[in-house]
Structures are given as C-alpha cells and as structure tokens.
Amino acid sequence: MPWAHKLDQMQPFHVMEMLARAKALAAQGRDIVRLEVGEPDFATPQPVLEAAQRALAVDKTRYTNALGLPELRARIARWYGETYHVDLDPDRVALTPGTSGGFQLAFGLLLDPSDRIAITDPGYPCYPNMIRFQGGEPVTVAVGPEHGYHFTADLLKPHLAEGLAGALVTSPSNPTGTLIDPDAFEAVAAELDAAGAALISDEIYHGLTYGEAARTALSFSPNALVINGFSKYFAMTGWRLGWLIAPPEAMRYVEILSQNLFISAPTLSQYAALAVFDCQDELNAQAARYDLARRDLLARLPSLGFAVGPEPRGAFYVYADAREAMARLGAPDAQTLCVRLLEEAGVAITPGIDFGPSGAGDHVRFSYAGGGERVAEGLNRLAGLLGGSDSAPSDRAS
C-alpha cells in the first residue's frame, strides 16, 4: 500500500527511543536514573483529582462546546490578568487536546501549502514535523549561546525578506531552558507585525522559572497566537489539556477547525482543571524543588566534562556542550555518549540530535523533572564514570 509521501519527511523523536532502552534495562532489574524526559515527577494536586471525581459522579462526560467550557475559558483569561497584568477576553481562549492540539489549530490558521514558519535551532523536535504535516515548510534558524538560544530581530530579517507566515518563540526553551530577553522579544514581535507575519508563542513552561519571570507574547503583540497548557507547571500531563489564544477575528476559524479536528477537548479534564488554579502554593513549592536540582546540575556538570552556556532559568532542562565528556570516554558523538552513559552508568540523558542540526553531534540535554535526589544520584554515577566532582556542593540549598 502506498503511504503518504509526507511521512518520509517525519523524523523520529530520539528521546523516546532512549526512553524505550532505559525501560528495557529497568525491566532487566537495572536501576536507571531518568534525566531524559521532561515529565513532572510529582502527582496531580489532590483538589484536581477530587474535582474530576465530582464531575465523574454526576456524569459530566459529554462533549463540551468546541472551544471549551465557558467557565474554564474565563478562568484562564483571569489567570492572565493575575499573572501578566494582561486584559484578555475569554472569547479569545480555545481549549485544546494538549498543546499539540493548540499547534494543530495555530498552523491550520496560518499555513497554505509551502508557507514557511521560522523555528529556532536548537528547538523542540516536534515543531518541524507538525509544520510539515500541515503542508508548511519549517525554516530552521541557528541560534547560539551568543543569542541566548533565541531569535533576535536581526536573525529573522533575512527570512522575513524571503517570506514567512510566522515565527515560533519558545520561552523558556526546550532544550536550553533559557528565557528570551524582553527587549529582544519586543523587537521580534515588532519585526513580525511590520512584515504581516504571525508571532506564535509556546508558553508551556511558564510558571517554571527561577529568579526571572517569563513574559507572555501578549505583552508585546495583541495579534500573537499563544499556546499553553496544563502539562508542565500544572502537573497534568496525561490529562491532555491545553489552550490557544488567538486574535478575535480568528476565533470563528478556530472553532470550525476544532469542530472538525477533535470536536472538543477532553471534558473530564476541563472540569478537573478548574480546580488547579487554587493549587498554586503547592505548584510553586514544586518549582522551588526543581530549582535546587537545577543548581546541582549547574554546579557539577562542568567538572564532568559538560559545558553550559547561558544560564538556564526556566523549564527543567540544561543544554550542554559534551565534547570534553565525549573525549574522556572516546565517544565519537553525543548520541554514542548517551548510549554509553545509559549502558555503563545507568543514567539516561537526551542526545542533541533531537533538537536540530546545529551542534547536534556534540550537545546533550539533561532533564531535572525527576527532582533533586535522582539528579544527585545521576551526577554521582556520571562522576564515577567520567571523573570530576563525586558529591553535591555543600551550598546546594542556598
């Protein structure tokens, strides 16, 4: 049977293959320290579970409106006022099946065949696949440590001159954990608005920042397409619930796309999510716990042969140049290094090949979503194999 030619352009998500190997070793009885996948390690807050149970008890399991529960859309809009001091009309909010659903809607709004979307390199590996699947063309723009791993207006100008439907900003970034500088964000938004191109902002890691708050794209452009969800800060990964914020004139198209692509977001998840906004003390305490693990990584990775560029101040990732560690083990590339660290030290990390061609062969990503104790254990194991500091710094709680 002839499958669609576009499938030949889809690239595998290599971290999932590393995850499969880690699980296979664990099934053999190996204790594997999981520093590869960005899934929060703590449970969904109890009030959210209780809200879901109450909704289930009265059979709130039917389809909602295609754009979602009005009360949840209103609560999200209120959260933007509380968090970012942005006045947001709830009618601009659409609930989606995870942020992946939000990207389907955003790219559905923007892309005709061969239209181009600029994405950063390094960047989240699913972006180019989602753009291609919608018939568009991803344009990768190399962003290095000198740019904070983010777009600048000057980097986008030559691509805008050739024609872009939009550009996608992710702050905090996956894989680098860095935040875009507010002045750079403002300049990028202005450049895109002037060119008539869309600013698409992936804000899924908002709430997980350390010492510096993330800024929403709505602060810089009223026309921005903003995608966020309940998976990361709100610790509701498997509930598969996100949202898209779009300009008022786009919302009828968003509704039509939602009706046709997925009818509505998961109903039970929507009722559950109404309770999560009252759990922010618990969620912020968890973010502080992540910060301790982040500090351990930043303090100890250099002695293990991993060089970190701009300080990661968000998400739960550290992106590192692994060339010295590769030399210590005689590994020809970062992917081989990751396999050896998994097999020989029982520590799973992600090779840079997942995040774009720029620096892919000599970079790796560490995830500290598993919390401090497992991070410390993983670092100790790496020290045993690579040399370097074999204990956590004495000021880790400072």
Same domain (yes/no): 19, 102 = no
Same domain (yes/no): 269, 353 = no
Sign of CA dihedral 364, 365, 368, 370: negative
Residue 29 confidence (pLDDT): 93
Strand order from edge to edge, sheet including 93-96: 93-96, 242-245, 225-229, 198-202, 166-170, 116-121, 137-142
- Residue 34 sits in a domain whose CATH number is 3.90.1150.10
Residue 23 confidence (pLDDT): 87
Q: Please state at what angle helix 126-133 crosses helix 98-110, rounded to 10 degrees.
A: 50
Same domain (yes/no): 266, 302 = no
Tens digit of each residue's pLDDT, the chain (398 residues): 888 888 887 777 777 777 788 889 989 999 999 998 777 888 899 999 999 999 999 999 999 999 999 999 999 999 999 999 999 999 999 999 999 999 999 999 999 999 999 999 999 999 999 999 999 999 999 999 999 999 999 999 999 999 999 999 999 999 999 999 999 999 999 999 999 999 999 999 999 999 999 999 999 999 999 999 999 999 999 999 999 999 999 999 999 999 999 999 999 999 999 999 999 999 999 999 999 999 999 999 999 999 999 999 999 999 999 999 999 999 999 999 999 999 999 999 999 998 988 888 899 999 999 888 899 999 999 999 998 765 544 333 32
- Residue 77 sits in a domain whose CATH number is 3.40.640.10
Q: Which residues contact 138 (CB under 8 A, 6 or more apart)?
A: 116, 117, 118, 119, 127, 128, 131, 132
Same domain (yes/no): 218, 159 = yes
Q: Phi, psi (5° rounding) for residue 299?
A: -75, -35
Question: How far, in Å, CA of 307 to CA of 289, rounded?
Answer: 23
Residue 18 confidence (pLDDT): 78
270 occurs within a structural domain? yes
Same domain (yes/no): 166, 197 = yes
Full-model pTM:
0.94
Residue 297 confidence (pLDDT): 97
Same domain (yes/no): 20, 107 = no
Q: Which of 278, 304, 330 is the last residue of a domain?
A: 278
Residue 74 confidence (pLDDT): 98
Same domain (yes/no): 365, 217 = no
Q: Which of 255, 278, 301 is the last residue of a domain?
A: 278
79 occurs within a structural domain? yes
- Give the range of the structural domain holding residue 135, as residue numbers without chain letter: 61-278
Domain tally for the chain? 2
Same domain (yes/no): 262, 187 = yes
Q: Which of 218, 246, 278 is the last residue of a domain?
A: 278
Residue 390 confidence (pLDDT): 55
Same domain (yes/no): 157, 191 = yes
Number of Cβ within a 10 Å radius of residue 87: 9
